[in-house]
Amino acid sequence: MVEQKQLDPKFFPRLWEIAHQMGMQAAQTCQVVPMIVDEHIDQLDGNSPIKKSYFVPEGVCGFAWVTVRPANCAFAKWMKTNKDCHLAYGGGMQYWISMFNQSMQLKEAYADAFAEALQQVGIKAYAGSRID
């Protein structure tokens, strides 16, 4: 593993592209579990008869992101300047995944692979997600 301090900033755009490609490949091979949402006649009673069902092929809705720590490392500073990333609550620089509509599973697959690509060159990167 390369120490982050040894990375040449000229390599950062290429590193971003490599991480993005790894994320896209992970998302393309992800097996999404579809979701079915039932609308009940009485919305406050889950045991009431179902009025209508909706099939959501993209699975559950949610968010995912990649956090790079510390926020003052060279790569995090580059992210802020060049990729519209922002300071993360709790520390670090965050890249929010805006692709894949609302599919949390696809966003998670992308974020995990993206973070892994950064970790392979010594950058402290972590994927996170939450359901909507």
Residue 110 predicted with pLDDT over 80 = yes
pLDDT at 5: 58
Residue 2 predicted with pLDDT over 60 = no
Among candidates 72, 63, 71, 116, which has minimal Cα distance to 94? 71
Residue 44 predicted with pLDDT over 80 = yes
Percent of the chain whose predicted confidence (pLDDT) is above 70 = 96
Overall pTM > 0.75 = yes
Among candidates 67, 70, 83, 88, which has minimal Cα distance to 5? 70
Mean pLDDT along residues 85-99:
95
The mean predicted confidence, pLDDT, of the chain is 93
Residue 71 predicted with pLDDT over 60 = yes
Q: Give the tens place of pLDDT for each residue, 116-125.
A: 999 999 999 9
- 8 Å CB contact between 71 and 92: yes
Report CA 15 to chain centroid distance, whole Å: 17
Q: How far apart are CA 71 and CA 126, in angstroms?
A: 13
- C-alpha gyration radius of the chain: 18
* Neighbour tally for 9: CB within 10 Å: 11
pLDDT at 84: 86
- 8 Å CB contact between 119 and 125: yes
Q: Which helix (H) or strand (E) holds 38?
A: strand 35-40
Q: How far apart are CA 106 and CA 40, in angstroms?
A: 28
